[in-house]
Amino acid sequence: MDRCPLATLPTPLEPMDRLGAALGLDAGTLWVKRDDLTGLAGGGNKARKLEHLVAEALAQGCDTLVTAGAIQSNHVRMTAAAACRVGMRCVAVLNGDVSGASAAPEGNLVLDRLFGAELVLVGDVDSFVRDQRLAETCVALHAAGARPYEIPVGGASPVGTLGYVRAAAELSAQAPLGAVVYCAVGTGGTYAGLAVGLGSHDRVRGVAVGPVPELDARIDELVPAVATLAGVPFPSGQRRLDASQIGEGYGIPTPAGLEAIALAARWEGLVLDPVYTAKACAALVADCRAGRVPEGRPIVFLLSGGLRSIFAGRYAADVAGVGRTLDQRG
């Protein structure tokens, strides 16, 4: 597993006994894995994937990291920072509402610009068209004499996913035996790497945060590819993603997610983001309340980052609003 050291590792594993008690769990049951502290322009899960992706890009003699994401992509922000760390160019294809992107950038976009990423703004297209534009951008860069290294959305190639196979080993050395991990599922790389690294789908509760086309099929392809690359057996058990927290779609906050943001903030002083970690935590909260958490097993919540996106206007008001509501309730 070649890797280019970019992340601050190991990330801490911290107890969440106050939130655990509020959810009816015994002390020592609920933990948080602080992958929001991986470094690389503010932290998040993509730092682990980028360590392997950038190592491969350098080994192939590439000079430009090319990737794609939604307008407030954490992955693009971290890829742009990684490119600066190793002296490469970064070109990123961004889709979504790009109206304020040039005049008044917000959240992650501020940092994309700071790191000098060359942004290809493709407007409100679906992920299929965005992926096509990513491939076309690589072809155009190549024709212009650059040596592009294409990173799929979310860094979810088998090579990138190795980052979470390593993370599983790191976690196993920290967490109580047999812990079950709750994580947000965007492209599925984090889930797949954890399932492979922990050796069992039953050790990971993947929570979908948006209706990604063919997500199940993608994960089913990724898991054996990553296990083979890592030289470990395929994980046991069956993949089961929790799709109950998607709400109206990717990037659209849900009431349960906003409640999870409030709970994590007020019981533990932690910041969740409305796009990913709030929905994953909302699933954990719902499972605790419904008595669905595995009896006697420690639970680890993967805080996979996302902090920067809450400073984008459309999320900032929701997050601040949930805090105000709690204050008014006293």
Ligand X SMILES: Cc1ncc(COP(=O)(O)O)c(C=O)c1O
How would you classify residue 224: left for phi > 0, otherwise alpha for psi between -120 and 50, otherwise beta?
Answer: alpha
Report the alpha-carbon distance of residue 118 to residue 105 in Å, rounded.
14
Interface residue with ligand X among 19, 184, 278, 283 (CB under 6 A) is 184
Report the alpha-carbon distance of residue 239 to residue 50 in Å, rounded.
25
Query: Nearest Cα to 131, choosing from 154, 111, 112?
Result: 154
Interface residue with ligand X among 42, 257, 274, 305 (CB under 6 A) is 305
Interface residue with ligand X among 91, 306, 308, 322 (CB under 6 A) is 306
Does residue 187 interact with ligand X by CB under 6 A? yes
CB of residue 276 to ligand X, shortest distance in Å = 3
Taking residues 19 to 48 in sequence order and writing x for each that binds ligand X by CB under 6 A, - otherwise, the string is -------------------------xx---
Point out which span in 130-138, 235-243, 264-272, 303-311 binds ligand X (CB under 6 A).
Answer: 303-311
CB of residue 302 to ligand X, shortest distance in Å = 8
Point out which span in 95-103, 115-123, 260-268, 302-310 binds ligand X (CB under 6 A).
Answer: 302-310
- Residue 18: CB partners within 8 Å, gap ≥ 6? 267, 268
Alpha-carbon distances of 150 from 110, 139, 145, 147, rounded to whole Å = 23, 10, 15, 10
Point out which span in 57-65, 189-197, 238-246, 317-325 binds ligand X (CB under 6 A).
Answer: 189-197
Specify whether the CB–CB gap between 306 and 36 falls below 8 A. yes
Point out which span in 141-149, 243-251, 270-278, 285-293 binds ligand X (CB under 6 A).
Answer: 270-278
Interface residue with ligand X among 20, 148, 163, 188 (CB under 6 A) is 188
- 73 a catalytic residue: yes
Query: Nearest Cα to 279, choosing from 320, 249, 311?
Result: 249
Report the alpha-carbon distance of residue 81 to residue 69 in Å, rounded.
15
Interface residue with ligand X among 3, 34, 48, 75 (CB under 6 A) is 75
Looking at the DSSP bridge assignments, the partners of residue 180 are: 299
**Nearer residue to ligand X within complex by CB, 83 or 222:** 222
Give the H/E segment covering residue 301.
Answer: strand 299-302
Report the alpha-carbon distance of residue 90 to residue 67 in Å, rounded.
8
Q: Enumerate binding residues for ligand X (CB under 6 A).
A: 44-45, 74-75, 154, 156, 184-191, 273, 276-277, 304-306
Q: Which residues are catalytic?
A: 73
